[in-house]
């Protein structure tokens, strides 16, 4: 680990939300909701008077290429989703080339899952909660650079957004097999009401909607949930926001009066991880909370209460056959009493999750699988059907090409069904989602890319052959010492086995999974033998 020279006053800190855009869009997505705000929360570790802090989101503004900004910090703090790991490495190479004194701190789910590899790249690899950044900053920069209380720096966000953001809890009380939170194994945590209120009231623009970025706003304690609703009702009546939206798990809909109470507290929209309408697939995902209620009835009830319902669907070609996946898509296009999904993607075998180790143990991973391709639109695992038949389906997930008429018909029938239940703004959101699905060029347009970002339409959607893209070619000269930062992090080798790059971090989990599978099969064999005898 490297320790920077301590500055006598106002050290300079740059916090970056790193991102690889799965659509290969080089300009960022400033109009997308929700935006990532992890960098704003991390910025709260530093004193407002004892440090100079800047933040940058590659998701919002596109790849960071400003040499002046990259050479500015004494400390560079990086975070991002799992597929952003290589981008974090690239930004590190730029910053260390332009500012050799910089101390690089990295965190997030992928760092927590690849701690050994991360420590070989970054000066500090944080494997704990975001508060760990305060300890690192204290060691490197001194006590005067640390905030007395860590609160998000929403004031540093430089975008115009229709929503403000807040967080009322951390992690989740369920353990879906594909979820990064399951891989980390951390317990659900709720915040105190004072902290929640301070986040909301500190944001200057009260003419916006409020979006909670919790992994599970509902949580595992009904009295705590009701207390949050009481707070939301009070703040809503005082005009701090026009209405609020949150993510809840499927068990929220089991309580008959939850929808009414949420609506009375100013709730205008909920997101819930439907993932699939196939109960067997939900069981494979260990998504028990979605099996406690009838999903279609819950969605329709939510809409009838005047609360917009948003959801996503995921597909796993390694356990689902192509006709079954196609039937799921055809169902949502045909059934107009529920909205179209907000996103469609493949089930991502994120590092450290039960699903990841299951794929490894079953030899499902394709050869030369890259961490960068864990984006939901690149095939990482061996499908049950011929791969040349599965790829067109994946392309369809990415842009819904060829379904414009069905989408238009669905939107019209949905509007006719709920036009008296939903507000014009809520309905406009659903119609806009339909337009986005039927006109994929809105977000997938690469025709205006220039310079190093101009790519031919050569995506294969298969990790083994998927091109890395222009970001793997340095946009500015970097020191030869950091050239390897532009090589991909590999998950599997040419045989489909765990790659040596990540073996130290992920090998033990694979052994545990293999042993558990052997034990389960042995138990099953014994039960079968006993029943036959």
pLDDT at 514 over 70: no
Percent of the chain with pLDDT over 90: 79
The pLDDT tens digits for 60-115 are 999 999 999 999 999 999 999 999 999 999 999 999 999 999 999 999 999 999 99
For the chain, give the mean pLDDT: 90
Question: Alpha-carbon distance 455 to 436, whole Å?
Answer: 22
Q: Specify burial of residue 469 (Cβ count, 10 A radius: 0-12, 13-18, 19+).
A: middle
**Would the pLDDT of 2 be above 50?**
yes
Question: Strand locations in 187-304, DSSP E?
Answer: 189-190, 209-212, 244-247, 267-275
Mean per-residue pLDDT for 415-438?
92
pLDDT score of 429: 94
- pLDDT, residue 161, reads 86
**Of residues 85, 24, 18, the one with CA closest to residue 58:** 18
Q: What is the pLDDT of residue 222?
A: 94
Q: Please, which residues have CB within 8 angstroms of residue 429's CB and are 6 or more apart in sequence?
A: 269, 308
Average pLDDT over residues 285-312: 94
Q: How far is CA 326 from CA 309, 311, 323, in A?
A: 23, 18, 5
pLDDT average, residue stretch 351-370: 96
Specify the DSSP element, H or E, that contains 55: strand 52-57
Give the model's confidence band at 292: pLDDT under 50 very low, under 70 low, under 90 confident, else very high: confident
pLDDT of residue 456: 45
Contact partners, residue 208, CB within 8 Å, separation at least 6: 161, 162, 163, 164, 241, 242
Residue 524 has pLDDT above 60, yes or no: no
Average pLDDT (368-373) is 98
Paired strand residues for 46: 146
How do residues 440-491 score in pLDDT, each as one tens digit? 555 444 444 434 444 546 899 999 999 999 999 999 999 889 999 999 999 9
306: exposed, middle or buried (C-beta count within 10 Å: 0-12, 13-18, 19+)? Answer: middle
Q: Helix 322-334 to helix 404-418 angle, to the nearest 10 degrees?
A: 40
Contacts for 427 with CB less than 8 Å, ≥ 6 apart: 415, 418, 419
What does the DSSP 8-state code read for residue 340?
P
Domain with CATH 3.20.20.70 in the chain: 160-358+384-394+401-423
What digits encode the pLDDT tens for the residues 245-286? 999 999 999 998 999 999 999 999 999 999 999 999 999 999
pLDDT at res. 515: 62
Looking at 3.40.350.10, 3.20.20.70, 3.30.365.10, 3.40.50.720, the CATH number of the domain 160-358+384-394+401-423 comes to 3.20.20.70
Exposure of 14 by Cβ count < 10 A (0-12 exposed, 13-18 middle, 19+ buried)? buried
Q: Which CATH architecture has domain 12-145?
A: 3-Layer(aba) Sandwich (3.40)
Paired with 105 in beta bridges are 77, 124
Q: Measuring CA to CA, how many Å separate 170 from each of 5, 113, 214?
A: 34, 18, 6
Whole-model pTM: value is 0.91
Across the strands, what pairs with 31? none
Q: What is residue 159's predicted lDDT score, i.e. its pLDDT?
A: 82
Task: List, in sequence order, every residue forming a beta bridge with 245; answer none if it has no partner.
Answer: 211, 269
pLDDT at 3 over 70: no
pLDDT greater at residue 417 or residue 518: 417
Which strand ranges, in their side-by-side order, compose the sheet holding 244-247? 163-166, 209-212, 244-247, 267-275, 308-315, 343-346
Residue 71 CA to residue 86 CA, distance in Å, equals: 20
Q: Is 325 helix (H, G, I), strand (E, B) or coil?
A: helix
Task: For residues 150 and 134, give the distance between their C-alpha atoms in angstroms, rounded to a whole number.
Answer: 8
pLDDT for the residue numbered 109: 93
Residues of the chain with CATH 3.40.50.280: 12-145
- Give the pLDDT mean for 324-344: 94
SS3 per-residue string spanning 390-408: HHHHHHHHHHCCCCHHHHH
- Looking at residues 201-208, what average pLDDT do you find? 82
């Amino acid at each position: 680990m490297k320790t920077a020279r301590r500055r006598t006053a106002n050290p300079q800190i740059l916090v970056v939300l790193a991102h690889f855009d799965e659509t290969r869009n080089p300009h960022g997505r400033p109009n997308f909701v929700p935006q990532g705000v992890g960098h704003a929360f991390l910025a709260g570790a530093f004193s407002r008077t004892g440090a100079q802090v800047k933040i940058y989101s590659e998701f919002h503004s596109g790849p960071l290429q400003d040499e002046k900004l990259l050479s500015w910090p004494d400390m560079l703090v990086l975070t991002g989703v799992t597929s952003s790991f290589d981008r974090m490495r690239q930004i590190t190479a730029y910053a260390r080339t332009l500012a050799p004194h910089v101390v690089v701190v990295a965190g997030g789910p992928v760092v927590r899952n690849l701690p050994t590899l991360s420590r070989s790249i970054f000066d500090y690899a944080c494997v704990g909660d975001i508060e760990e950044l305060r300890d690192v900053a204290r060691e490197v920069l001194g006590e005067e650079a640390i905030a007395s209380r860590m609160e998000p720096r929403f004031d540093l966000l430089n975008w115009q957004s229709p929503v403000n953001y807040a967080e009322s809890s951390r992690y989740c009380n369920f353990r879906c097999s594909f979820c990064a939170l399951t891989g980390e194994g951390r317990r659900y945590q709720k915040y105190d009401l004072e902290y929640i209120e301070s986040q909301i009231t500190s944001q200057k623009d009260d003419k916006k909607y409020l979006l909670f970025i919790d992994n599970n706003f509902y949580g595992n304690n009904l009295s705590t949930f009701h207390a949050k609703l009481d707070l939301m009702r009070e703040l809503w009546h005082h005009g701090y926001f026009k209405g609020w939206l949150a993510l809840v798990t499927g068990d929220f809909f089991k309580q008959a009066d939850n929808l009414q109470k949420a609506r009375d507290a100013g709730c205008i929209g909920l997101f819930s991880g439907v993932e699939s309408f196939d109960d067997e697939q939900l069981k494979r995902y260990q998504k028990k909370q979605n099996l406690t209620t009838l999903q279609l009835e819950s969605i329709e009830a939510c809409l009838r209460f005047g609360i917009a319902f948003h959801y996503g669907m995921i597909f796993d070609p390694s356990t689902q056959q192509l006709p079954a996946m196609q039937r799921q898509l055809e169902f949502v296009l045909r059934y107009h009493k529920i909205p179209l999904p907000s996103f469609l993607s493949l089930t991502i075998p994120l590092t450290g999750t039960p699903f990841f180790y299951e794929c490894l143990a079953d030899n499902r991973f394709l050869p030369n699988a890259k961490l960068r391709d864990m984006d939901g639109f690149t095939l990482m695992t061996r499908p049950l059907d011929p791969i040349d038949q599965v790829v067109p389906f994946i392309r369809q997930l990415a842009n819904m090409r060829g379904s414009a008429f069905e989408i238009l018909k669905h939107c019209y029938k949905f509007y006719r069904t709920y036009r008296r239940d939903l507000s014009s703004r809520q309905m406009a959101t659903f119609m806009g989602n339909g337009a986005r699905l039927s006109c994929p060029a809105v977000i997938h347009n690469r025709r205006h890319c220039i310079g190093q970002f101009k790519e031919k339409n050569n995506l294969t959607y298969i990790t083994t052959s998927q091109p890395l893209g222009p970001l793997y070619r340095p946009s500015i000269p970097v020191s030869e010492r950091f050239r390897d930062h532009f090589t991909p992090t590999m998950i599997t080798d040419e045989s489909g086995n765990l790659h040596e790059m990540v073996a130290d971090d992920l090998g033990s989990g694979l052994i545990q999974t293999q042993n558990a599978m052997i034990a389960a099969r042995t138990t099953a064999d014994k039960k079968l033998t006993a029943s036959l005898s």
